[in-house]
């Protein structure tokens, strides 16, 4: 099936073409051409909804690095279908919105290149079956989101937010890679499908728990779970279309996808239940708690996104209890938590995307997002107000909006999990419904802030940069579509349940009966506990909102310098200071120090490693006897080498160095290599002549004086390095594991038609290498000639000027 491969590659292809044709588009916004990409991909994927809903899956593999099992394998099933439709569907609306939002004076071609790179990377993440290929796309989402967040790079906050998101998400990605390597070590496969089928045999493996925690670390950083959530509010410095796309529907959902995809792998373990469930439920509370204190609408939505992601994450954690229990009529009840997670994932993308676009409209038309300056916009922006009510009330969990349905299922899941005793929950289980209810109350409060503080109350034109008016029709289309979806899903939820949620549940619970994985969704379940919790949320939420100014000072108990952001900034600053100190300690500008570091590392790392591994071995039984004149020649070289250290002038040092070179040439003669001897003689002669020529123009030699202790250190390093090199050479010569390659070159006449082996090697076996060396020398010669001519011409001009 090439459709998925096309879906992944098409955004990259169009992104590569944009620089070539964006200037050639006459008077037409380039966004209209880019818009065709996600629209086409959405239609292509939507064609497979009926077949995937019936249980079909599609796998396509293109060999990439087959030797290591790294192939470009794509897999379309129910889970990847949901994310693929969100990426392309919401992406289409975001691009349509951006056409009217971004000014023509912006660098639009860069913006759409980055956006398409991100879209392709996200599609690669959700459709990849090979974990290493998935990791490549995973990190590409971090890089492309960095570029999008820093799109307005002239703003300091944009650069800071981009750097912060990159550092945190890439660090988590590296941890995830380590987890993938451990999974591969356990299962000996890189296929996600095969890992799911075989991981049950490795639950007691030593690497099982570390792999799980490292993969979760990658998911938590990407999906802004506590304490890694701090990057998301700063990422709101990006243009609003970026926020609506990356931080509500796609990038932050990558971690959710990873948890969902690996739930059948690790979900049967208690650690997975506790870590995912606890981190998610606390993130839900912490995000909603901090959202209430925000005065910037976009920052409020950022923390609300963190909160909603925590809700989804906690549901995946709670739903994993079903895998721990194994398939039974009792365990199927707990799969409904996962069903609610998937349902809320879709709902959140609709209402949060609409709200981000609403905030973008307010900022675009009024020039501010500060809640303290807003108010009374309902009469000026009635359509925007309507969309804001739909999105906010859905996020608050009120009917008749889709958020109400998934929020009721969330309450039902946390109530049911309190009754589960097999995971040793005990009395601590009551914290799940309690924290969930408190967080929902705070969610209700900040949703009311969005609506009533922004659109009701007095209009304050003196505090606004622009006179308020309704947004252009084109900018209203995308949020209006999302608002319609919010309401439509409430009235027809089972279309989503049957065609999207059920096949995704089959991917997460492959051993369960498919007919039991998709409960009937309805708005009325009687006067049950979840409904009572919702009524309590409304009553307490209205009360808290009405007295907001009286209890909001409680946030003063959390001063900014005690926050995780302050900790991050301090760690970053300390890292910069310490790294600068370390760099200054070894970057002294003295070549002697650099040589010292190199040789010390060589001696300790290479020599020490080979010594402790027992790699040194010596066998001289096959060596030829050393003749007396060879001993004499070695003695001459030793005397010359040591004498250089005590030379009083450059001329003496140069001549002694020449003795070493010419001695090597004599060795080549003794070993019957006249070509090498001739080459060595020529090179040594030219080198000595060049040394003498250079020294002619250098100032008098001021010999460095060192303390005796320093000289002893230098002598030790020199002797140690020479000893290690000698030992390595003797070990290599003594421990031959393969036949020497010289046997191959002995057939030079048959293979290359040359009687001289050295000439055949240079002219035939490594002809390209030799040719490139000659080219390098030719280029260097041209450079020298040019410099000489330039100097000569300038000298003539100087004479003329004088």
Tokens representing 469 are 């008016």
Maximum C-alpha span of the chain: 107
Report field, pTM of the whole predicted structure over 0.85: no
* Residue 308 · residue 352 · CB < 8 Å: yes
* Greatest mean pLDDT range, 91-100, 240-249, 522-531: 91-100
Predicted confidence (pLDDT) at residue 379 exceeds the cutoff of 60? yes
For residue 424, what pLDDT is reported?
A: 56
Which whole number is the average pLDDT over 83-92? 95
* Residue 164 · residue 205 · CB < 8 Å: no
The SS3 of residue 449 is helix
**pLDDT tier at 712 (50, 70, 90 boundaries)?**
confident
**pLDDT tier at 799 (50, 70, 90 boundaries)?**
very low
Tokens representing 637 are 């070289």
For residue 517, what pLDDT is reported?
A: 86
Buried b (16+ CB within 10 A) or exposed e, 287-299: bbbbbbebebbbb
Which whole number is the average pLDDT over 2-13? 91
* Greatest mean pLDDT range, 391-395, 420-424, 653-657, 732-736: 391-395
Predicted confidence (pLDDT) at residue 394 exceeds the cutoff of 90? yes
Predicted confidence (pLDDT) at residue 800 exceeds the cutoff of 60? no
Question: What are the sequence ranges of the domains in the chain?
Answer: 278-291+298-504+518-546, 591-763
For residue 794, what pLDDT is reported?
A: 58
Which class for 166: exposed (0-12), middle (13-18), buried (19 or more C-beta within 10 A)? buried
For residue 526, what pLDDT is reported?
A: 83
**pLDDT tier at 768 (50, 70, 90 boundaries)?**
confident
**pLDDT tier at 798 (50, 70, 90 boundaries)?**
low
Sign of CA dihedral 313, 318, 324, 327: negative
The backbone torsions φ and ψ at residue 239, rounded to the nearest 5 degrees and listed phi first, read -55, 150
DSSP lists the bridge partners of residue 267 as none
Predicted confidence (pLDDT) at residue 387 exceeds the cutoff of 90? yes
Task: Name the more confident of 514 and 255.
Answer: 255
374 DSSP assignment: -
**pLDDT tier at 792 (50, 70, 90 boundaries)?**
low
The DSSP line for 105-139 is TS-HHHHHHHHHHHHHHHHHHHHB-BHHHHHHHHH
**pLDDT tier at 47 (50, 70, 90 boundaries)?**
very high
The SS3 of residue 332 is helix
Residues 6+ apart with CB under 8 A from 4: 58, 60, 74, 75, 76, 127
Predicted confidence (pLDDT) at residue 38 exceeds the cutoff of 80? yes
Predicted confidence (pLDDT) at residue 279 exceeds the cutoff of 60? yes
Predicted confidence (pLDDT) at residue 697 exceeds the cutoff of 70? yes
Which class for 511: exposed (0-12), middle (13-18), buried (19 or more C-beta within 10 A)? exposed
Residue where the block lists tokens 């790392």: 605
Task: Name the more confident of 649 and 142.
Answer: 142
Which class for 401: exposed (0-12), middle (13-18), buried (19 or more C-beta within 10 A)? buried
* Greatest mean pLDDT range, 194-203, 456-465, 536-545, 592-601: 536-545
What percent of the chain is predicted at pLDDT more than 70?
A: 96
Flag the least confident range among 15-24, 344-353, 384-393, 450-459. Answer: 15-24
Measured distance CA(28)–CA(46) in Å, rounded: 29
Flag the least confident range among 138-147, 216-225, 360-369, 599-608. Answer: 599-608
The SS3 of residue 384 is helix
Tokens representing 702 are 């001021």
Which whole number is the average pLDDT over 274-298? 94
**pLDDT tier at 802 (50, 70, 90 boundaries)?**
very low
Q: What is the pLDDT of residues 475-504, one digit of tens each?
A: 999 999 999 999 999 999 999 999 999 999
**pLDDT tier at 704 (50, 70, 90 boundaries)?**
low
DSSP run (H or E) holding 408: helix 402-417
Flag the least confident range among 242-256, 608-622, 680-694. Answer: 608-622
Q: What is the pLDDT of residues 412-460, one digit of tens each?
A: 999 888 776 655 566 677 888 999 999 999 999 999 999 999 999 888 8
Q: What is the pLDDT of residues 65-85, one digit of tens each?
A: 887 778 899 999 999 999 999
Flag the least confident range among 367-376, 693-702, 749-758. Answer: 693-702
Which whole number is the average pLDDT over 384-395? 96
Mean pLDDT of the chain: 88
**HSE-up (13 A, CA, CB side) for residue 681:** 11
């Amino acid at each position: 099936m090439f459709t998925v491969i096309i879906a992944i590659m098409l955004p990259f292809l169009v992104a590569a073409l944009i620089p070539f044709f964006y200037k050639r588009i006459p008077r037409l916004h380039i966004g209209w051409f880019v818009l065709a990409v996600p629209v086409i991909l959405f239609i292509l994927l939507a064609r497979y909804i009926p077949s995937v809903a019936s249980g079909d899956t599609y796998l396509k593999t293109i060999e990439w690095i087959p030797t290591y099992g790294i192939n470009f394998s794509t897999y379309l099933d129910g889970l990847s279908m949901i994310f693929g439709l969100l990426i392309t569907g919401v992406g289409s609306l975001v691009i349509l919105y951006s056409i009217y939002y971004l000014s023509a004076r912006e660098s639009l071609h860069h913006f759409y290149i980055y956006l398409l790179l991100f879209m392709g990377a996200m599609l690669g993440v959700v459709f990849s079956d090979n974990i290493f290929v998935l990791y490549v796309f995973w990190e590409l989402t971090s890089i492309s989101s960095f570029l999008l967040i820093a799109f307005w790079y002239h703003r300091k906050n944009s650069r800071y937010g981009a750097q912060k998101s990159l550092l945190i998400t890439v660090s988590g990605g590296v941890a995830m890679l380590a987890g993938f390597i451990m999974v591969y070590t356990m299962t000996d496969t890189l296929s996600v499908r095969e890992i799911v089928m075989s991981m049950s045999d490795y639950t007691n493996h030593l690497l099982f728990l570390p792999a799980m925690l490292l993969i979760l670390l990658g998911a938590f950083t990407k999906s802004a779970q506590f304490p890694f959530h701090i990057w998301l509010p700063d990422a709101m410095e990006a243009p609003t279309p970026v926020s609506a796309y990356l931080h509500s529907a796609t990038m932050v959902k990558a971690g959710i996808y990873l948890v969902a995809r690996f739930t059948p792998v690790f979900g049967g373990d208690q650690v997975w239940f506790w870590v995912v469930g606890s981190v998610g439920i606390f993130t839900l509370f912490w995000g909603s708690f901090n959202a209430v204190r925000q005065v910037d609408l976009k920052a409020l939505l950022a923390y609300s996104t963190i909160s909603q992601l925590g809700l989804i994450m906690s549901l995946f954690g709670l739903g994993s209890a079903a895998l721990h229990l194994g398939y039974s009529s009792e365990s199927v009840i707990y799969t409904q938590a996962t069903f609610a997670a998937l349902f809320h994932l879709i709902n959140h993308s609709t209402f949060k995307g609409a709200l981000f676009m609403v905030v973008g409209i307010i900022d675009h038309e009024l020039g501010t997002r500060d809640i303290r300056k807003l108010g009374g916009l309902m009469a000026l922006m009635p359509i925007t107000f309507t969309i804001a009510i739909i999105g906010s009330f859905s996020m608050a969990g009120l009917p008749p909006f889709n958020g109400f349905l998934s929020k009721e299922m969330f309450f039902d899941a946390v109530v049911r999990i309190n009754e589960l005793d097999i995971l040793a929950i005990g009395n601590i289980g009551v914290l799940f419904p309690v924290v969930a209810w408190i967080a929902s109350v705070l969610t209700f409060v900040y949703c009311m802030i969005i609506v009533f503080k922004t659109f009701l109350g007095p209009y304050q034109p003196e505090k606004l940069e622009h006179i308020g008016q309704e947004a252009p029709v084109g900018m209203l289309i995308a949020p209006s579509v999302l608002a319609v979806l919010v309401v439509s899903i409430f009235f027809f939820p089972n279309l989503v349940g049957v065609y999207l949620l059920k096949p995704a549940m089959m991917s997460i619970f492959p051993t369960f009966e498919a007919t039991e994985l998709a409960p009937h969704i309805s708005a009325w379940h009687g006067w049950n506990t979840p409904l009572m919790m919702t009524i309590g949320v409304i009553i307490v939420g209205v009360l808290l909102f009405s007295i907001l100014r009286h209890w909001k000072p409680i946030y003063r108990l959390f001063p900014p310098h005690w926050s995780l952001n302050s900790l991050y900034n301090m760690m970053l600053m300390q890292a910069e200071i310490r790294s600068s100190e370390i760099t200054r300690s070894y970057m002294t500008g003295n070549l002697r120090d650099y040589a010292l570091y190199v040789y010390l590392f060589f001696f300790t790392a290479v020599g020490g490693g080979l010594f402790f591994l027992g790699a040194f071995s010596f066998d001289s039984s096959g060596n030829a006897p050393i003749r007396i004149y060879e001993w004499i020649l070695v003695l001459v070289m030793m005397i010359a080498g040591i004498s250089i250290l005590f030379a009083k002038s450059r001329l003496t040092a140069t001549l002694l160095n020449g003795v070493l070179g010419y001695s090597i040439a004599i060795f080549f003669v003794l070993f019957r290599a006249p070509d090498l001897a001739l080459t060595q003689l020529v090179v040594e002669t030219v080198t000595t002549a060049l040394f003498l020529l250079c020294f002619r123009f250098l100032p008098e030699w001021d010999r460095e004086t060192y303390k005796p202790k320093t000289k002893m250190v230098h002598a030790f390093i020199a002797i140690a390095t020479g000893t290690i090199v000698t030992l390595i050479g003797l070990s290599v010569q003594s421990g031959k594991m393969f036949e020497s390659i010289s046997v191959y070159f002995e057939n030079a006449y048959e293979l290359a038609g040359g009687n001289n082996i050295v000439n055949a090697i240079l002219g035939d076996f490594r002809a390209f290498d030799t040719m490139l060396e000659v080219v390098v020398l030719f280029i260097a010669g041209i450079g020298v000639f040019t410099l000489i001519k330039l100097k000569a011409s300038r000298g003539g001009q100087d004479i003329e000027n004088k």
